[in-house]
């Protein structure tokens, strides 16, 4: 969803929410991106000043907010807070990240049948929760559907109304968007769940063709076509055309129910997802979770010279990542049949792995040439340089360990010799033993002394 900077006239704080960006503006007011004190992001809509002065609008708006509080479902934006007595009433819903269906189709073009059916199944489930709460959305259109990573979400219940209510705010004025309104809305009749079914059919037709089923033109022209002309479904895929045509029936009684529509769209989504034009859906953990599908078409594959260049590049990339040499183009490929394989130890190991000890369930490491000292030779890279292999680094580590151990042993021997006593050659005199005072023997050194 596109965001814009706040303008000078825009408020900065509404209720307990701080406003950060503009998300858009509509017939009822301006939608802002806000956050509360806990950092939870919300989409906050502030009602226009002229509508805020209309007491009839305030009372209707209060009933709509009360009805929106009863809606429970994963395919709708949950109502967080609202203030109906403020100078400019406002309400805040859960912020849904992701582009709208209108922006998605406008940028990427029409969606595939599998994507449209998956989105429609999720939206039908969302409408089922809305209708169970006794509410009719009344303004379902591509810009009110957000494609979040978890699936499509229905937003903007600003003009939602209880079942059976009229669609006229004033005499002759219909509420909603031309091209996606049901005929009963244009006539001013009571709205029912079938009113949203008509809008959903027009929305899914837009997703298939990137255009409204009633074309383009002024509001008066579009409303006339909705009431008196049939929908144009020429560009809708055959898998969806009959179902969408029933949704766009003029008589509400001829349209399918919300539950029936959801079941039929799920069947179409499952069939188209595995068909030739669909392919498997991503995030297939629920209806609508696979709207982001990676399409692979046969026309996208390279042919002719592009195919040969692509194959050559793949061969070169594969050869660069392996140590085995690439066969020369002029050499014929080696035979792969069993009769042409030479009989030897390798083949014997494959036949009887227990005797030869060949096959043990693990792949043997690739042999590499070694040098004189048992170290492996440096590996030559694809760029022509040389880098040391892992054995050369291991050899350096062993040499360092050997030198350190040798030094430690030498120091230990020297310390052990020094602890045995002073040596003569170190200049330390040995003590001379002294004879006892009596019974001594006269020697050349004097009486009572012994010859050392």
Residue where the block lists tokens 């199944």? 121
In whole angstroms, what is the distance from residue 375 CA to residue 357 CA?
26
The greatest distance separating any two alpha carbons of the chain, rounded to the nearest whole angstrom, comes to 155
Give yes or no: 139 in active site: yes
Residue in 139, 251, 254, 300 annotated catalytic: 139
Contact predicate 194/182, CB 8 Å = yes
What are the two backbone dihedrals, phi and then psi, of residue 205, each rounded to the nearest 5 degrees? -65, -40
**Secondary structure (DSSP) of 228-291:** HS----TTS-TTTHHHHHHHT-SSGGGSPPHHHHHHHHHHHHHHHHTSTTT-PPSS-SSTTTT-
Residues 6+ apart with CB under 8 A from 312: none
Question: In terms of Cα–Cα distance, which of 224, 13, 204 is closest to 127?
Answer: 204
CA-angle at 88, arms to 87 and 94, nearest 5°: 135
The helix-helix angle for 258-273 and 113-132 (nearest 10°) equals: 160
Residues annotated as catalytic (active site), given as ranges: 139
């Amino acid at each position: 969803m596109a965001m814009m900077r706040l303008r000078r006239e825009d408020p900065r704080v509404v209720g307990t929410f701080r406003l950060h960006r503009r998300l858009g503006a509509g017939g009822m007011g301006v939608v802002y991106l806000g956050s509360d004190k806990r950092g939870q992001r919300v989409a906050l809509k502030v009602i226009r000043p002229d509508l805020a002065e209309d007491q009839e609008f305030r009372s209707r708006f209060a009933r709509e907010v009360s009805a929106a509080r009863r809606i429970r479902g994963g395919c709708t934006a949950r109502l967080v807070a609202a203030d109906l007595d403020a100078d400019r009433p406002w309400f805040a819903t859960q912020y849904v990240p992701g582009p709208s269906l209108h922006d998605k189709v406008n940028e990427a073009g029409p969606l595939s049948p599998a994507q449209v059916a998956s989105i429609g199944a999720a939206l039908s489930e969302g409408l089922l929760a809305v209708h169970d709460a006794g509410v009719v959305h009344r303004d379902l259109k591509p810009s009110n559907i957000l494609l979040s990573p978890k699936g499509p979400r229905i937003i903007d219940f600003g003009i939602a109304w209880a079942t059976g209510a009229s669609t006229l705010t004033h005499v002759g004025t219909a509420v909603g968007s031309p091209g996606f309104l049901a005929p009963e809305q244009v006539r001013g009749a009571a709205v029912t769940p079938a009113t949203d079914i008509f809008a959903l059919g027009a929305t899914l037709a837009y997703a298939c063709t990137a255009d409204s089923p009633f074309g383009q033109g002024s509001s008066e022209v579009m409303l006339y076509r909705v009431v008196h002309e049939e929908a144009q479904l020429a560009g809708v895929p055959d898998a969806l055309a009959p179902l969408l045509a029933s949704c766009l029936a003029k008589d509400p009684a001829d349209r399918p129910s919300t539950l029936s529509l959801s079941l039929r769209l799920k069947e179409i989504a499952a069939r188209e997802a595995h068909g030739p034009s669909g392919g498997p859906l991503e995030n297939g953990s629920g209806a609508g979770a696979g709207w982001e599908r990676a399409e692979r078409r046969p026309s996208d594959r390279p042919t002719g010279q592009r195919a040969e260049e692509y194959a050559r590049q793949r061969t070169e990339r594969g050869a660069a990542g392996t140590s085995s040499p690439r066969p020369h183009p002029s050499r014929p490929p080696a035979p792969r049949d069993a009769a042409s394989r030479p009989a030897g130890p390798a083949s014997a190991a494959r036949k009887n792995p227990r005797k030869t000890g060949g096959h043990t369930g693990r792949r043997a490491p690739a042999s590499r040439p070694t040098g004189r000292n048992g170290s492996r030779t440096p590996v030559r890279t694809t760029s022509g340089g040389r880098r040391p292999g892992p054995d050369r680094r291991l050899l350096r580590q062993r040499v360092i360990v050997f030198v350190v151990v040798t030094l430690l042993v030498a120091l230990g021997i020297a310390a052990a010799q020094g602890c045995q006593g002073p040596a003569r050659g170190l200049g330390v005199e040995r003590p001379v033993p002294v004879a006892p005072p009596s019974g001594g023997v006269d020697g050349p050194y004097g009486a009572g002394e012994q010859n050392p």
